[in-house]
């Protein structure tokens, strides 16, 4: 059947997509003077406004020990701050500093501009289809999570 051929083609396109997105992100973080891992953390903190270390680690699929050290480095660079939760001192609350917010907003802006350019490039009569297709693909991937 043709499904094998098509599914391999699907895989190949996904590989290329991932490759290109990786390159995009690397050029993005090069401008900020932080590392990729720090950038991922900073963006998630920016989006959440306040977040625990545990939650951040979960979002980024990292161990708490790794997360703790990445956050340490961001604190040292004065991009984020750590506060102890007054209600439960086991918890820390991570949030962006003013300079961290600037970097975060810069990343958001340039990524939004980039995706606007990508979107605008898509032929108008194909846009709905592309958006729907991505939705379907995300759902297909979600429903087939690694149950090896």
Partner DNA sequence: GAAATATATTTGCATATTACAACTGTTGTG
Partner DNA sequence: CACAACAGTTGTAATATGCAAATATATTTC
Number of H helices, E strands in the chain: 6, 2
Asked if 43 interacts with DNA (CB under 7 A), we say: no
SS3 94: strand
In the range 55-114, which residues lie near DNA by CB under 7 A? 55, 61-73, 82, 87-92
Listed residue (81, 44, 86) closest to 62, CA to CA = 44
Each residue 44-63 as x (binds DNA by CB under 7 A) or -, in order, gives --------xxxx-----xxx
Structural element, H or E, at residue 144: none
Asked if 84 interacts with a second copy (CB under 8 A), we say: no
Shortest distance (Å) from residue 4 CB to DNA? 31
Distance in angstroms (rounded) separating the CA atoms of residues 64 and 75: 16
> Stretches 74-82, 85-93, 94-102, 131-139: which one binds a second copy (CB under 8 A)?
131-139
Task: Please choose which of DNA, a second copy, none residue 71 contacts, taking the beta carbon within 5 to 8 angstroms, the exact cut-off set by kind.
Answer: DNA
- Report the 3 state secondary structure along 24-93: HHHHHHHCCCCCHHHHHHHHHHHHHCCECHHHHHHHCCCCHHHHHHHHHHHHHCCCEEEEECCCCCCCEE
Longest dimension (CA), the chain: 61
Task: Please choose which of DNA, a second copy, none residue 49 contacts, taking the beta carbon within 5 to 8 angstroms, the exact cut-off set by kind.
Answer: none
> Stretches 19-27, 69-77, 87-95, 96-104: which one binds a second copy (CB under 8 A)?
19-27
Residues at the site binding a second copy, with contacts judged by CB under 8 A:
3-4, 6-11, 13-14, 16-24, 26-28, 31, 61, 110-112, 114-123, 126-127, 129-138, 140-146, 148
């Amino acid at each position: 059947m043709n499904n094998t051929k098509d599914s391999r083609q699907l895989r190949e396109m996904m590989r290329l997509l991932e490759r290109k997105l990786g390159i995009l992100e690397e050029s993005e973080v090069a401008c900020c003077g932080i590392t990729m891992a720090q950038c991922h953390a900073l963006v998630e903190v920016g989006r959440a406004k306040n977040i625990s270390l545990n939650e951040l680690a979960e979002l980024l699929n990292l161990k708490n020990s790794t997360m703790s050290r990445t956050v340490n480095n961001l604190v040292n660079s004065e991009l984020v701050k750590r506060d102890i939760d007054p209600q439960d001192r086991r918890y820390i609350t991570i949030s962006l500093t003013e300079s961290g917010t600037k970097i975060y907003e810069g990343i958001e802006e340039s990524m939004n501009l980039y995706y606007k350019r990508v979107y605008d490039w898509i032929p108008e009569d194909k846009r709905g289809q592309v958006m729907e297709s991505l939705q379907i693909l995300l759902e297909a991937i979600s429903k087939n999570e690694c149950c090896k």
